[in-house]
């Protein structure tokens, strides 16, 4: 087999693998829609499952042989966000006093490009939106709100913390290990 034939064979195998990955992504989104139908509807049933999402990333990192932790995080945060949107519309409501472009980029990368972004006039408005709607409030400052669950830090690609996320999570969904 000559070099050019080998390259074509490898490219064909890559294309076939890409189609397989796409088929699995479509299946995962179908399952997210099934999950939405299986969950009780109404107030308090947010599509956010922080403990489950963390356990997914941890489990995948433990099983990975060649994929880096960063690759796994980027791919699965996007998949999780796409699935979250399939379960019910959610928004990111941001408040930052400066570097708003970087802030928005980092929040979107952390929670998925599937989630629409809007800006609040102040931190109180962002927190109010998270209390009253399916919203993740992302602020450039820490906040205390008894009705909201801290979802962690938002970081730049260099690892610098630039924000903090909060959302309303049903009590049973906030327990460690929930599936």
Do 34 and 114 lie in one domain? The reply is: no
121 lies in the same domain as 154: yes
**Between these two residues, 11 and 176, which has the higher pLDDT value?**
11
Q: Are residues 91 and 107 in the same domain?
A: yes
Region of 99 please: left (phi>0), alpha (psi -120 to 50) or beta. left
Q: Reduced to 3 states, what is the DSSP secondary structure of residue 179? A: coil
* 56 and 133 share one domain: yes
**CA–CA dist 27, 153 (Å, integer):** 30
Q: Please tell me the total count of domains within the chain.
A: 2
Question: 4 and 66 in one domain?
Answer: no
| Residue 136 belongs to a domain | yes
Examine the domain organization and report whether 15 and 60 are in the same domain. Answer: no
Query: In this structure, is residue 179 part of a structural domain?
Result: no
Q: Among 1-10, 123-132, 153-162, where is mean pLDDT lowest?
A: 1-10
Specify if 178 maps to a domain.
Answer: no
Q: 164 and 126 share a domain?
A: yes
pLDDT at 176: 44
CATH, residue 91: 3.40.190
In this structure, are residues 112 and 84 in contact, taking their beta carbons and an 8 Å threshold? yes
Q: Are residues 31 and 56 in the same domain?
A: no
Per-residue DSSP letter, 146: T
Q: Quick one: 25 and 107 in the same domain?
A: no
Nearest-CA neighbor of 154 among 118, 102, 78, 115?
A: 102
How much is the pLDDT for 175?
47
Q: Are residues 16 and 81 in the same domain?
A: no
152 and 81 part of one domain: yes
Give the tens place of pLDDT for each residue, 125-150.
999 999 999 999 999 999 999 999 99
Which band of pLDDT confidence, cut at 50, 70 and 90, is reported for residue 36? confident
Closest by CA position to 94, among listed 121, 57, 113, 112:
121
Average pLDDT of 21-27?
Answer: 96
One domain, residues 67 and 131: yes
Structural domain range at position 32: 1-38
């Amino acid at each position: 087999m000559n070099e050019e034939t080998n390259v074509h064979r490898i490219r064909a195998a890559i294309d076939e693998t890409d189609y397989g990955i796409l088929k699995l992504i479509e299946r995962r989104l179908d399952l997210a829609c099934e999950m939405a139908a299986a969950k009780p509807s109404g107030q308090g049933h947010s599509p956010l499952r922080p403990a489950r999402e963390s356990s997914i990333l941890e489990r995948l990192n433990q099983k990975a042989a060649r994929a880096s932790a960063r690759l796994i995080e980027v791919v699965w945060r996007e998949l999780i966000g796409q699935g979250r949107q399939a379960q019910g519309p959610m928004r990111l409501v941001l408040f930052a006093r400066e570097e708003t472009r970087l802030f928005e980029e980092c929040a979107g990368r952390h929670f998925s490009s599937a989630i629409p972004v809007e800006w609040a006039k102040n931190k109180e408005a962002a927190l109010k939106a998270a209390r009253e709607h399916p919203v993740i409030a992302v602020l450039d400052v820490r906040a205390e709100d008894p009705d909201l669950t801290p979802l962690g830090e938002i970081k730049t690609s260099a690892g610098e913390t630039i924000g903090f996320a909060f959302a309303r999570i049903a009590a049973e969904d906030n327990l460690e290990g929930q599936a």
